[in-house]
Amino acid sequence: MKLGKLPPELLEKLLGQVDIRDPRVLLGPRIGEDAALIDYGERILVAKTDPITFATDLIGWYVVQVNANDVACAGAQPRWFMATLLLPQAYTAAEVTDLFRQLTDACSSLGVTLVGGHSEVTRGLEQPIIVGCMLGEVEKGKEVNTSGAREGDSIVVTKGISLEGCALLARERPQELRAAGVDQPSIERAAEFLFTPGISVVRDARIACSAAEVHSLHDPTEGGLATGLQEVAKAAQVGMVIEEKSIPIVPECRAICDALGLNPLGLLASGCLVIALPRQETPKLLSALTGEGIRAWEIGEVTEAGRGVLLRDRQGLKPMPTFERDELARYLEA
């Protein structure tokens, strides 16, 4: 099989075999939904697990962020974190100590408590792998599902697309970027995208839920913005029309993608929160985000399901590109 996520049709078939009999499970595994919801009386427990497999730099910090993002996209506050650390035999005590510090620093920055996990040195690994599990909570009635997008909604995104993928390339493959013609200052700025504007959407989601009536939140990761939009559309059984000219791509990401022959629409995109909300709420949302220093753009609208996800460019409407795997995985495998 190819690197990256399982093929959607296979995953959908597997998830269709899951028999949930516990009535307290409000939301189980579904395509497009990245966290489970469990009834805890007046509050809902939100549970998420995600690994870090592409990155080798700052993976302890990284695994906390990506798991917290999906909990925040359920409208919840991330609270408790567990981590499973699988380490190669070549790893040193100093490296393990640094990795653990990354975990605790990242948790502290988000107000999250590290409550447990597991660690071991594992045969056959060339690089460390961390699997995280984030738990959070939200008041009942205030939870947000990816499937909540409705026909007529506006689609807003924050920060910009492909930030995560470009940051990883700048950190992991700077020499290849230089050889491809990307200048050193651009590489250095891209490497800092993990922090500025940042791949966390916890704050973005909190502001959005406080400022406006939000129908859907989604954190596009593997497969980039294009795959994230497809996931929202499938979960909500809607279509979309996206304006290509409105999609924010920062200059450094454009330079890196052009140099390596990558499509930014299909490149790892954590940090770009996708928000679906009533059109009349959009000015209020944009104002709130901008007021907190988070750039945001309206990029399209939700339409009826039969139209699919469409991209409007200079030539008119066409189907949104699809990606069997993330552009980063394609590049690394090549």
* Secondary structure in 3-state letters for 210-229: HHCCCCEEECCCCCHHHHHH
Alpha-carbon separation of residue 117 from 46, 103, 158, 258, 263 (angstroms): 18, 12, 32, 41, 37
Does 115 share its domain with 208?
Answer: no
Band (pLDDT 50/70/90 cuts) for residue 333 is: confident
Q: What was the pLDDT predicted at 334?
A: 77
What is the average pLDDT across 37-63? Answer: 91
Structural domain harbouring 207: 146-333
Band (pLDDT 50/70/90 cuts) for residue 4 is: confident
Does 54 share its domain with 197?
Answer: no
Check whether 3 has a pLDDT greater than 80: no
- Looking at the structure of the chain, the number of domains it has is 2
Q: What was the pLDDT predicted at 193?
A: 96
* Chain segment 105-116, per-residue pLDDT in tens: 999 999 999 999
Does 193 share its domain with 243?
Answer: yes
What is the average pLDDT across 298-306? Answer: 95
Q: What was the pLDDT predicted at 107?
A: 97
Check whether 56 has a pLDDT greater than 80: no
Q: Is residue 5 part of a domain?
A: no
Does 60 share its domain with 186?
Answer: no
Does 91 share its domain with 230?
Answer: no
Per DSSP, the three-state class of 316 is: strand
Q: Is residue 12 part of a domain?
A: no
Which position has the higher pLDDT, 111 or 31?
A: 111
Q: What was the pLDDT predicted at 32?
A: 82
| Cβ–Cβ under 8 Å, residues 72 and 214 | no
pLDDT > 90 in the chain, percent? 89
